[in-house]
């Protein structure tokens, strides 16, 4: 009975040993694989080494896209990278190359080709620009649009077909240049016009590039630039204007002098050249005797004006009184007009004439004019003679002295025959 029991145990062990090799070959390998798959990923590993989901589509175009979100998504173009942005897209921090730009490019330190969009903070290069470049400190080639800059010197920008026009000094208070953009650039094929404000004269313009032409209205044009240009202007104040014509007068006159706005007017009465030490014009001048008035306009930042000069003479004319005559007797001797020149300038009489209904009963020694030296008098040149054989009656005529400058002085002369 005991022997049978042990035989049963041995039989069971033998059966188990027969089944053991197949299970042992399969189970250890499977356990090892399960252990490796369960092992956690290394958090420090680079993202490009992480496992990729095999079921993710390779073609991104097949995914649904939110158009509004996609248009506003910025592109970052790093160094040695190239991108082709579409219109409406934005490229930030461009350190690479952007082709066919119809987008916005910010912080450009790289290269932008065929720009039709806008480039901000350009420190790189923009080729074939038809768009706009702001804050340019870089280079722009073949520019047909506008380039803005906040740099001290816009010449840091080398722009094809557009050149900077500067002035040797600050002429902004006295002159303006029309036809330049806000950065002082002149595009190829265009011209600019240099004008000065009213009351000034643009005497001369010099430029170290391009062609200058003076116009009939006193302005100048600059064109055909092939390089940056600097303008040097010679601006002069317009000469003062006298409201009183020079000439000879028989009465005191008032002289008013005008000049450019803001200019100080200096004058002299002795014929000397006026300067800052001369008389300052502040109110109209009362002229009572002959003198030569000379005046000039002085304005800061421009050349002194030409001198305006005028001679003013004053004469005193005394008409004679003819004594009465007697019918049948000879008339009295000819009576002379006395003309006295007061002052320091010559006085000129242009002519003397007779008029009136009785003019034919008198005769003048001459109707020609004459010139009197300063401070001299004349009582011989112009005399008046009544006619002979006059019947009884009263005769009168008008004697007219025409002075140089056009003023006239008239006298009525009478002759009575008893």
Do 287 and 252 share a domain, yes or no? yes
Report residue 346's pLDDT band, with 50, 70 and 90 as the boundaries. Answer: very high
Average pLDDT over residues 120-136: 76
Contact predicate 90/103, CB 8 Å:
yes
Q: pLDDT: is 2 or 361 the higher one? A: 361
Structure tokens at 415: 């002759």
Last residue in a domain, options 256, 282, 313: 313
Residue 316 burial (CB < 10 Å; 0-12/13-18/19+)? middle
Tens-digit pLDDT profile for residues 193-244: 999 999 999 999 999 999 999 999 999 999 999 888 999 999 999 999 999 9
Structure tokens at 303: 């050349």
Last residue in a domain, options 103, 135, 156: 156
Do 356 and 399 share a domain, yes or no? yes
Position 40 pLDDT exceeds 70: no
Structure tokens at 282: 């502040």
Position 100 pLDDT exceeds 50: yes
Do 308 and 327 share a domain, yes or no? no
Position 64 pLDDT exceeds 50: no
Position 41 pLDDT exceeds 50: no
| pLDDT for the residue numbered 38 | 37
Those residues whose C-beta lies under 8 Å from the C-beta of residue 88, and which sit 6 or more positions away, are: 71, 102, 103
Residue 344 lies in a domain: yes
> What is 283-310 written as a DSSP string?
SPEEE-SBEEEEEEEE-TTSBPPPPEEE
Task: Please tell me the total count of domains within the chain.
Answer: 4
Do 251 and 188 share a domain, yes or no? no
Do 298 and 363 share a domain, yes or no? no
Do 117 and 174 share a domain, yes or no? no
Position 300 pLDDT exceeds 90: yes
Contact predicate 372/341, CB 8 Å:
yes
Do 129 and 170 share a domain, yes or no? no
Position 372 pLDDT exceeds 60: yes
Q: Report how far residue 175's alpha carbon sits from residue 411's, in angstroms, rounded to the nearest whole number.
A: 55
Question: Residue 404 is part of a domain; what is its CATH number?
Answer: 2.60.40.10
CA atoms within 13 A on the CB side of 174: 24
> What is 152-175 written as a DSSP string?
S-GGGS-BTTEEEEEESS--TTTE
Tens-digit pLDDT profile for residues 323-335: 999 998 999 999 9
Do 213 and 264 share a domain, yes or no? no
Report residue 12's pLDDT band, with 50, 70 and 90 as the boundaries. Answer: low
Residue 43 lies in a domain: no
Place of tokens 């035989």: 7
Residue 16 lies in a domain: no
Q: Report how far residue 170's alpha carbon sits from residue 233's, in angstroms, rounded to the nearest whole number.
A: 10
Last residue in a domain, options 313, 339, 367: 313
DSSP, collapsed to helix, strand or coil, labels residue 400 as strand
- CA–CA distances in Å: residue 89 to residues 70, 71, 83, 147, 184: 8, 6, 11, 21, 31
Position 62 pLDDT exceeds 50: no
Tens-digit pLDDT profile for residues 164-196: 899 999 999 999 999 998 788 888 789 999 999
Range of the domain at 353: 321-417
| pLDDT for the residue numbered 23 | 39
Contact predicate 267/258, CB 8 Å:
no
Partnered with residue 414 across adjacent β-strands are: 396
Going 202 to 204 to 209 to 215, the CA torsion angle's sign is: positive
Do 140 and 191 share a domain, yes or no? no
Position 59 pLDDT exceeds 60: no
Residue 391 lies in a domain: yes
Residue 50 lies in a domain: no
Place of tokens 């940056």: 228
| pLDDT for the residue numbered 76 | 85
Residue 129 lies in a domain: yes
Residue 371 lies in a domain: yes
Position 286 pLDDT exceeds 70: yes
Do 75 and 143 share a domain, yes or no? yes
Do 143 and 224 share a domain, yes or no? no
Q: Report how far residue 102's alpha carbon sits from residue 89's, in angstroms, rounded to the nearest whole number.
A: 8
Lowest-pLDDT choice from 55-64, 236-245, 260-269, 289-298: 55-64
Question: Residue 275 is part of a domain; what is its CATH number?
Answer: 2.60.40
Do 274 and 221 share a domain, yes or no? no
Look at residues 137, 138, 126, 228 and name the one whose alpha carbon lies nearest to residue 184.
Answer: 228
Residue 283 lies in a domain: yes
Look at residues 245, 265, 254 and name the one whose alpha carbon lies nearest to residue 306.
Answer: 265
Tens-digit pLDDT profile for residues 303-317: 999 999 999 999 999
Q: What letters, b where the CB count within 10 A reaches 16 and e where it falls short, cover 43-53?
A: eeeeeeeeeee
Look at residues 364, 376, 375 and name the one whose alpha carbon lies nearest to residue 401.
Answer: 364
Average pLDDT over residues 341-348: 93
Look at residues 388, 394, 383, 389 and name the one whose alpha carbon lies nearest to residue 417.
Answer: 394
């Amino acid at each position: 009975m005991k022997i049978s029991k042990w035989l049963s145990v041995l039989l069971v062990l033998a059966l188990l040993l027969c089944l053991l090799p197949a299970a042992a070959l399969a189970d250890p390998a499977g356990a090892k694989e399960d252990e490796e798959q369960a092992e956690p990923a290394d958090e420090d590993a680079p993202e490009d080494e992480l496992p990729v989901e095999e079921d993710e589509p390779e073609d991104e175009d097949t995914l649904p896209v939110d158009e509004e979100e996609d248009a506003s998504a910025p592109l970052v173009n790093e160094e040695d990278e190239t991108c082709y942005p579409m219109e409406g897209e934005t490229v930030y921090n461009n350190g690479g190359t952007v082709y066919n730009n119809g987008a916005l490019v910010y912080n450009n330190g790289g290269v932008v080709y065929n720009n039709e969009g806008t480039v901000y903070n350009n420190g790189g290069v923009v080729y074939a620009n038809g768009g706009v470049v702001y804050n340019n400190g870089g280079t722009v080639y073949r520019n047909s649009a506008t380039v803005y800059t906040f740099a001290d010197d816009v010449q840091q920008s080398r722009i094809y077909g557009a050149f900077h026009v500067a002035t040797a000094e600050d002429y902004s208070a006295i002159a303006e240049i029309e036809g330049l953009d806000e950065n002082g650039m002149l595009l190829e094929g265009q011209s600019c016009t240099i004008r000065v404000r009213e009351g000034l004269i643009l005497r001369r313009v010099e430029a170290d590039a391009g062609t200058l032409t003076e116009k009939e209205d006193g302005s100048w044009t600059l064109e055909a630039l092939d390089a940056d240009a600097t303008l040097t202007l010679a601006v002069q104040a317009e000469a003062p204007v006298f409201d009183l014509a020079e000439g000879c007068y028989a009465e005191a006159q008032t002289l008013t002098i005008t000049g450019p706005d803001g200019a100080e007017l200096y004058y002299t009465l002795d014929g000397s050249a006026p300067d800052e030490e001369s008389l300052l014009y502040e109110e109209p001048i009362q002229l009572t005797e002959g003198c030569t008035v000379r005046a000039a306009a002085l304005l800061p930042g421009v050349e002194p004006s030409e001198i305006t000069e005028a001679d003013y003479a004053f004469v005193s004319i005394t008409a004679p009184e003819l004594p009465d005559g007697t019918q049948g007797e000879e008339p009295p001797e000819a009576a002379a007009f006395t003309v006295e020149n007061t002052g320091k300038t010559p006085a000129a009489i242009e002519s003397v004439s007779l008029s009136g209904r009785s003019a034919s009963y008198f005769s003048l020694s001459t109707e020609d004019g004459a010139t009197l030296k300063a401070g001299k008098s004349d009582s011989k040149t112009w005399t008046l003679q009544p006619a002979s054989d006059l019947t009884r009656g009263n005769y009168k005529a008008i004697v007219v002295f025409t002075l140089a400058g056009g003023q006239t002085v008239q006298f009525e002369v009478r002759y009575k025959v008893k």
